[in-house]
Amino acid sequence: MADYLKNQPWKAAGMTLQDIACEVFLSPATVLRVVRKCGYDSWWAFAAGLLLYSESARQQPESVNMSRPFGMPGSSPAIVSSIKSLFEQTVQEAAAMLSLEDLEKAAGLLPVA
């Protein structure tokens, strides 16, 4: 199921729960359990999240290995460039995940100093 969703997110998002279950040879109950394990209440909410994630991943300009952003024999300018790309990618991903409404709610919960 994971491979199918990863390789064909747009097709999967347009399917019903029964359709996707049939396509990946699982029962609808099993698919729904996976969806709920991922934190979603319904297949449609999961499909919307899948589309948002796949679109976000598609728009990444380059893939940076987060655990090792540069190689050992790299030159100083190459290492600086890799770290800069890693920082920019991290900031862009964080900004894409922020909900201003949720941020304002969270700020309202903080005590005023």
Summarize pLDDT for 80-93 with one digit per residue, the tens: 777 787 788 778 77
Please state the pTM of the whole predicted model.
Answer: 0.51
CA distances to 4, 36, 46, 54, 90 from 20, in Å:
9, 15, 12, 17, 32
For the cut 60, the answer to whether the pLDDT of residue 27 exceeds it is yes
* Single-letter code of the amino acid located at 23: E
Q: Would the pLDDT of 59 be above 70? A: no
Local confidence band at 19 (pLDDT 50, 70, 90 cut-offs): very high
